Amino acid sequence: MITPLEIKKTTFKKSLMGGFDVEEVKNYLASLATEFEILQEEYNNLALECEKLKSNLQSYKEMENILHKTLQQAEQTSEEAKNTAKKEAEYTITEAKATAKEIITNAYKDKQKVETEIADLLNRRSDIISQLKLYLNAQVERLKSFESIDLVTPPVKQEVVETAPRNKTSFFDEVLSSENDNNDLINSLLNKIK
């Protein structure tokens, strides 16, 4: 390959008439043209390769752009999903706290209601026991006063006694007998209450 320096330093022989040797100049120009054709072909090849590389570079830039946009979109979607999940979690927690508070409030109200009912039942029990004691004591006092009454049996006519069946007891005997049974019943009730 002929270099630019060689071209500058090239000298031609002088012809008899004082000019350059035409044959030598033609040969030099032919070799210069050959070299120039080779350079031109290499230049064209490099230009084509450069165009291909530019085209590829443009494609790569477009792909990089698309990837960059996709990555940004994925990051944005991820951030949105994270924010949505966070909001849903906060909402769920808020709802759970409200539900728990409501359950606790209802349980506390139920507890107070049950405690009030228990207190009322205990008061009613005490009232019933007191009333029952008063009633039973009053009945015991009545029985005692009834026992202290001196019962006088009216004279029975002979005819009536004879006509009355002998196996029957008198009304007063029955009352006294049932009073003793009632006393035993009342005393056992009082003992159980005490």
Tell me what pLDDT residue 78 has: 93
Are 193 and 132 within 8 A, CB to CB?
A: yes
Say whether 164 sits in a helix, a strand or coil. Answer: coil
Tell me what pLDDT residue 158 has: 54
Residues contacting 2, CB < 8 A, separation 6+: 31, 32, 35
SS3 content of the chain, % helix, strand, coil (to 5): 85, 0, 15
- The conformation of residue 168, written as its DSSP 8-state character, comes to P
Q: Which of 155, 141, 151 is nearest to 172 (CA)?
A: 151
Residue ranges in the chain whose pLDDT is less than 70: 1-4, 7-8, 12, 15-16, 18, 150-194
Say whether 135 sits in a helix, a strand or coil. Answer: helix
Q: Which of 185, 173, 182, 194 is nearest to 143 (CA)?
A: 182
Tell me what pLDDT residue 150 has: 64
Query: pTM score, two decimals?
Result: 0.38
Residues contacting 38, CB < 8 A, separation 6+: 1
162, containing H or E segment: helix 158-163
Q: Per-domain residue ranges for the chain?
A: 4-149
Tell me what pLDDT residue 152 has: 57
Tell me what pLDDT residue 183 has: 65
